[in-house]
Amino acid sequence: MVFVHVLVEESCPDILVLTETWLNQKVLNQDLNLDGFNMFCIDRRSKEGRVVIYVKDTLSAHLIDAVTQPKCFEYIVLKIRPGGNNHFAVIGIYHPPSADSEALEEIWQMNFF
């Protein structure tokens, strides 16, 4: 996590998407928190994968969907409202190399809004 803290300090992102973190249920969410950010993640039983999205706490972020299909894919979809009536989606996807390409095709077919 030291690398992530340094990255945030140096680049000052509004949104940070991490994939293939290898984080699991043994790592507490409080250990992953970043000051000034809201964290969205999916807990997993296996070591590979795990998508984590950090959104600056000055932005309105709402979880739209979070899905784990073991050995196929994992994704988190957020709706971000920077202000006014505008909004956009942020999608973090992990697709393991061993999964077949049909899993990705399934994701591309989805309509999140």
The whole-angstrom separation of Cα 57 and Cα 14 is 9
Among 80, 52, 45, smallest CA distance to 64 is for: 80
Per the model's pLDDT, the better-predicted residue between 16 and 107 turns out to be 16
**Residue ranges of domains in the chain, CATH in brackets:** 2-108 (3.60.10.10)
The whole-angstrom separation of Cα 13 and Cα 1 is 16
Report yes or no: 8 and 28 within 8 Å, Cβ to Cβ.
no
Residue 61 pLDDT exceeds 80? yes
Q: What is the mean pLDDT of the chain?
A: 82
Question: How much is the pTM?
Answer: 0.83
